[in-house]
């Protein structure tokens, strides 16, 4: 792994913000809250981009504060999910009395198969995994999968929220994630890390039959 990954649990429901460190450049995946903590982590370095797995408030809550301090940081989200950013009903912040809106247009709208260039010359590939939300994605590169709320340690993302669908989610996991090598490290949006092989064998929602 040519870059360092630090996972910082943030926000009201402890979502994992994954901090990718490339020397003096930083990329954040799902800056869901506690911007002061994330700003301290960034320090004097440059925040290059903020990648969003899906638009729920607990994964976007620090966007506004971070963008204000680091206006050069490019916000990237799947094109289907972009309306979630500014809509408190879609991103669920309105249901909890939280102002979770991010009203600036994202710098890049993502599609399945897109590649996001990294400062070290590598790239992350966008994997569209609808089911938890219509435009949910995972990011994959260098043997690591940032799975958002699609796949967890022995669990999967909930599907009872607006736009969720359990059959779609399970198909996304089977057809697009379980095709990755078994030793792929999975860093989810909540809870602990796992691997693709472990989830194939032990995830009760996938029947252990993959």
For the chain, which domains are there? 4-206 (3.60.15.10)
Q: How far is CA 176 from CA 95, 112, 125, in A?
A: 31, 10, 12
Query: What SS3 state is found at 10?
Result: strand
Whether pLDDT at 70 is above 70: yes
Q: Which of 2-6, 36-40, 64-68 has the lowest mean pLDDT?
A: 2-6
Whether pLDDT at 155 is above 80: yes
Write down the pLDDT at residue 100: 82
Phi and psi dihedrals of 151, rounded to 5? -130, 130
Write down the pLDDT at residue 71: 98
Mean pLDDT on 186-191: 98
Closest-CA residue to 173 (of 152, 193, 187, 189): 152
Mean pLDDT on 58-77: 97
């Amino acid at each position: 792994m040519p870059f360092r990954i630090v996972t910082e649990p943030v926000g009201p429901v402890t979502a994992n913000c994954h901090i990718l460190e490339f020397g003096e450049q930083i990329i954040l995946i799902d800056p869901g809250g506690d911007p002061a903590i994330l700003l301290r982590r960034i320090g004097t370095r440059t925040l290059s981009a903020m990648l969003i797995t899906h638009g729920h408030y607990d994964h976007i809550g620090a966007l506004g504060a971070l963008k204000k301090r680091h206006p050069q940081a490019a916000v990237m989200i799947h094109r289907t999910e972009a309306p979630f950013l500014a809509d408190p009903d879609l991103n669920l912040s309105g249901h909890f009395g939280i102002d979770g809106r991010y009203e600036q247009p994202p710098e890049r709208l993502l599609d399945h198969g897109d590649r996001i260039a990294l400062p070290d010359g590598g790239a992350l590939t966008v994997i569209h995994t609808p089911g938890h939300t219509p435009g949910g994605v995972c990011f994959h590169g260098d043997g690591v999968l940032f799975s958002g709320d699609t796949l967890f340690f022995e669990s999967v993302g909930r599907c009872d929220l607006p736009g969720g669908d359990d059959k779609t989610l399970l198909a996304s996991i089977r057809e697009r994630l379980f095709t990755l090598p078994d030793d792929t490290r999975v860093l989810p949006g909540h809870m602990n890390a796992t691997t693709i092989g472990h989830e194939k064998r032990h995830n009760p929602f996938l029947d252990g039959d993959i």
